[in-house]
Homo-oligomer: A and B are copies of this chain.
Amino acid sequence: MTAPRPREAVDLADVERAAAALLAPEVRDFVAGGSGMERTLAANRAALDATHVVPRVLTGIDSTDTSASLVGTAARLPVAVAPMAYQCLLHPEGELAAARAAAARGVPFTVSTLSSRTVEELAETGAALWFQLYWLRDRGLVEELLDRAEDAGCQALVITVDVPVMGRRARDVRNGFALPSSVRAAHLDTGPTSHAHVGRAGSSAVADHTALAFDPTLGWRDLEWLRGRCRLPLVVKGVLDPRDAARCADLGASAVVVSNHGGRQFDGAPPTAVALPRVVEAVGDAVEVLVDSGIRGGSDVVRVLALGARGALLGRPVLWGLAADGQRGVTRVLDLLRLELEQALLLAGCADLADAGRLATYVRSDPS
């Protein structure tokens, strides 16, 4: 199949093909790759496919309300754009284009600590912003970023807890992947000669830079400090064990994101569709439970809603759209997702997202 033009994409897989045709192989690998033997990456998709949702009929609805409130942020879909680093790799406008698309489609956009555009620039897009924080060794910089995020009007703080160090992604290591000089971590005090730009055979420069910049010691006490320091709702991203999720709730987090970082961190972690219902059972209504890793269409969103999630973060498909056609590409991705989600909800007899949460699921006993 030849790659379709992005505007003609019929589903997200079409957008992926369009992006793949345009990207340099090492960038494609940087986006697509997982850690280790990429088994968790594969398991994410298999576990979603194994989750069957039982639709209801004769509910008498003729439209469905996909609007959501995600940690207090109004969203037209139960979806936010996941935090993803260095989007200028995919398109010259980088995060600006993606955030504009998110703004146009009413979807929160999460600004990565490693964004190649600043949160202030992104605030001008009018998108509902969340700010994602990596726990940096430079605690002064952490405080500065918290202030900048609040000042820029971000509506939630997403602390990523599954990257004490960056997962070893064999593709990047093989490629000796490094950032081109044109792409930089706009929030960090790093110019085009940072470690992330220094390619070495047998090493991922992005991982090298991360190891220098990130503080792996992030712990529960830091989370408490953060909870006190930051006025925004706190979202803890990268939780898989129900006990950890419950403790996040106890410490006042507003949400957890059940995530294995798209199969990019611990290769061996369970697929999120398997971990999700166990987390939901553990936390009840004490926190919102979001999920990511493997969402590739509207049916997947219904699957995770039926498994108890309040919403999902969308990652790689946004990058595909960005690579394929900039803002228009991301818009196409969000439009396709809305189209599929609305239809899936209608076909499942759901007037709104709460209805989706009450659908029964038949999960194969071999979920991954």
Q: Using CB atoms and an 8 Å cutoff, list the residues of chain A in contact with chain B.
A: 8, 10-11, 13, 36-37, 39-40, 43, 49-63, 161-162, 164-165, 167-168, 170, 173-174, 201-202, 215-223, 236, 238-241, 243-244, 247, 265-271, 274-275, 296-300, 302-303, 339-340, 343-344, 346-349, 360, 362, 364-368
Contact = CB atoms under 8 A, between A and B. Distances in A.
Nearest to A42: B49
8 smallest A-B Cβ distances: which pairs? Answer: A60-B219, A52-B270, A266-B347, A268-B299, A62-B216, A57-B161, A366-B366, A62-B217
Contacts of A218: 58, 60
Number of copies: 4
- In this complex, the member of A8, A54, A236 whose beta carbon has the largest number of chain B beta carbons within 10 angstroms is A54
Nearest to A36: B299
A217 B63 CA distance: 8
Given A36-B340, A61-B164, 15 more contacts: A36-B297, A39-B299, A40-B52, A52-B268, A52-B271, A52-B368, A53-B266, A55-B241, A55-B269, A56-B244, A60-B218, A60-B221, A62-B164, A362-B368, A364-B367
Contacts of A236: 57-58
Contacts of A161: 57-58
Contacts of A217: 60-62
Contacts of A238: 57
B268 A57 contact: no
